[in-house]
Amino acid sequence: EVHLEESGGDLVQPGGSLRLSCAASGFTFSSYEMNWVRQAPGKGLEWVSYIDRSGSTIYYADSVKGRFTISRDNAKDSLYLQMNSLRAEDMAVYYCAREISYDAFDIWGQGTMVTVSS
């Protein structure tokens, strides 16, 4: 079964750091581009970041550029999001999502909650 599972969400103070992970199973992870999408409590979806299959092409939302770093380890079938200088507005459920050849996100994880509060 094709599956994505996020982990690493936690309560962190403003200015702190956190690393999210997304473990893939049931498909050839290295063949797919991946994304992070977040959703603040009671709010809509916000795209966060993209990484291509090799990790050589990366994009970020302006709201996280310079603070977040996306990466992947194809040998471990894993996607990561390093989040630094966290702000209250970064508090959200973070989803990893697989991108298919026609650019849509066909598989999503269940999400991991990041809480930023003192």
Partner 1 sequence: AIQMTQSPSSLSASVGDRVTITCRASQGIRNDLAWYQQKPGKAPQLLIYDASTLQSGVPSRFSGSASGTDFTLAISSLQPEDFATYYCLQDYNYPRTFGQGTKVEIK
**Contact positions vs partner 1 (CB under 8 A):** 35, 37, 44-47, 50, 59-62, 95, 100, 102-106, 108-111
16 or 69: CB nearest partner 1: 69
Q: How far is the CB of 26 from partner 1 (least distance, A)?
A: 16
- Beta-bridge mates of residue 22: 6, 79
85 or 110: CB nearest partner 1: 110
Q: How far is the CB of 107 from partner 1 (least distance, A)?
A: 8
3 or 15: CB nearest partner 1: 3
Question: Quick one: how far is CA 81 from the chain centroid?
Answer: 5
The region that residue 111 occupies, defined by phi over 0 for left and psi between -120 and 50 for alpha, beta otherwise, is: left
Structure tokens at 79: 């996607």
Within 10 Å of residue 23's Cβ, how many Cβ atoms?
16
